[in-house]
Chains A and B, each alone.
Chain A
Amino acid sequence: MHDHPPYQDHSHAIEKLVAGGNIFTPAGDAERVLEWQNVSLEFEGRQVLHDISAWVQAGELTCLCGSNGAGKTQLIRLGLGFSRAAVGQVRLFGQDPAKTRHLIGYVPQQKAFNRNFPATVEDLLIAALRGCWPLFCRKRERAMAAESLQRVGGLTLLDKDISVLSGGELQRVFVARALIQNPKMLILDEPLAAIDTKGRAQLMDLMEGLRAERQLSILLITHSEPVVRKLADRVLFIEKGRLVGWGETSAMLAIDELRDVAFFGHDHESVIHGEEG
């Protein structure tokens, strides 16, 4: 646990990080599944990303860390082709993300779906399978939806209306949705938030298993140092829209400034046993 005061001014640490020195570009020529090439992004008149160059290597679990508002979600949205970089370019499986994003299993942080829509969990999962909304479901599709929910410990949710699910139940359902497509890569934006202790352990085991058994590439946004320590092969740190750290997990977590800025204020014990911040 930290012994810092509850609200610490990190501006000095951030300045030091921005000054550089913590970028260790991966060696070797492993496939780059997702790559940002000198990207800068403006959002509502404000520059939120500054000249970021980084990539996610095939078969690795990469954690993307940074304090709130650092630009993590914007970086992911660029990677999925939901926004366009003002400068630089993004390649997903070597192509424009809009052409290849169907290969991604994505769990967004905010689930911005239409709550008035007549939809059950089964419909959502089958929609991901078919690529269109199901008017009626086939037996085989229903079995696949059930199997996917089973993997995240949410089988009992299959016939529920999506609009009545709790935050934790929605997380499980959207992880199941990402998995049912048999994706080449998972992008998970704070997937452990709002999930109970048992669910967290289950999801972390699932991510480890997917990486180990299927060599699935995973990009995981998290505020949790224990999650990074347990799961990540490599970590990307961004702060104030700039890449301030990139390297293997053990090397990155040895840098106090990075840990302080990215994880400070998030209860590290509770990340495994309670709420992710």
Chain B
Amino acid sequence: MDWSSMIIEPFSHPFMRDAMLMAILIAFLCGSLGVLLVPRGLSMVGDGLAHATLGGVGGALILGSTPEASIWAAMPFAILVAWGISWLGRHAKLAGDAALGVFFAVSLAAGVAAIHTASRAGVNVDMEGLLFGNILAVQPRDVRIVSILAVVCILILLRFGPRIAYAGFYPEMAALSGIRVERKEYLLMTLTAVVTVTAVHAVGVLLVSAYLVIPTVTARSVSRRLGPMTLTTIFTGAIGSAIGLIMSYHFDIPTGAAMTLALGGCFLVALGLRGLGFSK
């Protein structure tokens, strides 16, 4: 098999095309938010919110939601946790990661307790699917839902992203320029919660932070301005996903793991390029 057919052949299957489309959407969403989160020192907020999603899933199951719908039902819970992290960080004068640590642990514990209770009541919960996701199992309906979410998020980010970025760079100067800094912070956390829950559906709880963080730090190592860095982040996420999917297909590696490894490979390549002077 030559290189071109090795790349093209996997995508002759509809489930691979759906998976690729979903991966590109997730890369686009996570990349656009990652460039706003990572430079603020909020790299792990996606990880925390992804774990908090488990709490929401557990709560939704207890309230009678089906396992399939429970991830989407978890979204309001994730948004509340995101606001809580912001509020605690601002009003209790806790550093961002300390507030995150509190909510991360408590909501994860609540999720485990709730899912256990639901399981004992006879609800069949796919914990492995929740933790590691299964992008190969996404349905065209899921792709449509995420596409709509992506369009909404991108429209919001086009409008408010540059102001959120300014507030993240220097809150006082942003306030002097007329930006309502606190509102922008809550907006960023809301978008992060929405995108995290969406990404959990596709790539699982444990791999969400890979999508939020690795493409961003990869791009940061080769770009010094926000615009080029955002484009490079999205491109890296998409390329890493494609390489991971192809690797997973040919070498029978779990897809989420293959995609994360591919993203890690992109980061190493970027570091190498920077070392050789091909950057900034």
Interface residues of A (CB under 8 A from B): 80-82, 101-102, 104, 106, 108, 112-114, 116-120, 123-124, 127-128, 130-136, 161, 177
Contacts and interface: CB of A to CB of B under 8 A. Distances in A.
B166 interface: yes
Contacts of A116: 38-41
B8 to A, nearest CB: 34
B177 A118 contact: no
Given A102-B178, A119-B226, A114 B168 contact: yes
Contacts of A136: 227
Given A102-B178, A135-B162, A120 B224 contact: yes
A133 B172 contact: no
Contact of B227 (A81, A82, A134): A134
Contacts of B220: 118
Contacts of B162: 130, 132-135
B137 to A, nearest CB: 36
A80 B226 CA distance: 28
B141 interface: no
B3 interface: no
Contacts of A101: 175-176
Contacts of A120: 224-225
A120 B226 CA distance: 10
B234 to A, nearest CB: 12
A118 B175 contact: no
Contacts of A161: 224
Nearest to A111: B170
Nearest to B280: A161
Contacts, number: 85
B163 interface: yes
Nearest 7 interchain pairs by C-beta: A135-B227, A132-B162, A133-B165, A113-B170, A133-B166, A131-B177, A117-B39
Interface in B219-250: 220, 223-227, 229-230
Nearest to B166: A133
B230 A113 contact: no
11 contacts: A82-B175, A101-B176, A108-B172, A112-B172, A113-B173, A114-B40, A118-B35, A118-B224, A118-B229, A127-B177, A161-B224
A80 B165 CA distance: 22
A101 B173 CA distance: 10
A127 B166 contact: yes
Q: Which residue among A119, A131, A133 has the maximum number of chain B CB atoms within 10 Å of its CB?
A: A133
A119 B227 contact: no
Contact of A119 (B175, B178, B225): B225
A177 B177 CA distance: 11
Given A113-B169, A116-B40, 16 more contacts: A101-B175, A102-B176, A112-B170, A114-B170, A118-B35, A118-B39, A118-B220, A118-B226, A127-B166, A127-B177, A131-B179, A132-B165, A133-B169, A134-B162, A134-B227, A135-B226
Given A118-B225, A134-B162, A106 B176 contact: yes
Interface string B178-194: 11000000000000000
A135 B39 contact: no
Interface string B193-230: 00000000000000000000000000010011111011
Contacts of B176: 80, 101-102, 104, 106
Contacts of A112: 170, 172
A127 B170 CA distance: 11
Contacts of B161: 135
